[in-house]
Structure 1
Amino acid sequence: MLIPWRLGRSLLWDATCVHTLAASHIQATSSMVGAAATSAEQAKRRKYENLDSSFIFVPFGVEILGPWSPEARALFKELSKRVIESTGDPRAGSYLGQ
């Protein structure tokens, strides 16, 4: 994002959508909701571990059957809050989610 996100630092995010029922994820996703999204989030974090500290990086992991990773949920919540504040429309967060 070109607009400074926090403390004058720009936000960089990388979204990944993983298949909940893929053979590589089925064991984890059968015992924990969102396991594949969380795993994808961790892989993105490793991929960008050497990123310049002047940026804020957020991995955004989602699964095709619906679950979102913890950081994806937190970023969405923050984006929704900011959209509501900037528009004054309390429904703006719901629109963003759609």
Structure 2
Amino acid sequence: MDSSFIFVPFGVKTLGPWGPEARALFKELSKRVIESTGDPRAGSYLGQRISLAIQRGNAAILGTVSRCGGFEDVLDFI
């Protein structure tokens, strides 16, 4: 990738706080979305989309766990 891309990997816990890199990335992305759309609410919309993505991921994992019999089976798979 060239220097026009920003790559910041970070993990997100369901109820855990975001680390400093994740917060900084979110602030930068929010600023850029607001600048490009002109909508001051765009940063909030981005946060809502991230929240929904986390919830969907949690639902997918929990659905897998309930079908396979428990976390032990999932951990053995990983």
* TM-score (norm: length of structure 1): 0.43
Aligned residues: 48
Partner Cα distance (1:10, 1:87) in 2? 19
- Matching of residue 10 in structure 1 with residue 5 in structure 2: yes
Alignment-mate amino acid for residue 10 of structure 1: F
Alignment-mate amino acid for residue 60 of structure 1: F
Moved over 6 A (4+): none
Q: Which digits, 9 at most, give the CA deviation of each residue in 1:11-68, with x for residues without a partner? A: 22xxxxxxxxxxxxxxxxxxxxxxxxxxxxxxxxxxxxxxxxxxxxx12222221411
Partner Cα distance (1:65, 1:94) in 2? 18
How do residues 10-89 of structure 1 correspond to structure 2 at under 5 angstroms? 10-12=5-7, 58-89=8-39
State which drifts further: 71-80 or 60-69. 60-69
* TM-score (norm: length of structure 2): 0.53
Superposition CA RMSD, Å: 1.9
- Unaligned runs of 5+ residues in structure 2 are 49-78
Alignment-mate amino acid for residue 5 of structure 2: S
Displacement after TM superposition at 1:92 (Å): 0.2
Flag the structure with larger Rg: 2
| Secondary structure of 1:60's aligned partner | coil
Displacement after TM superposition at 1:85 (Å): 0.2
- Unaligned runs of 5+ residues in structure 1 are 13-57
Query: Which structure shows the bigger proportion of residues in helix conformation?
Result: 2
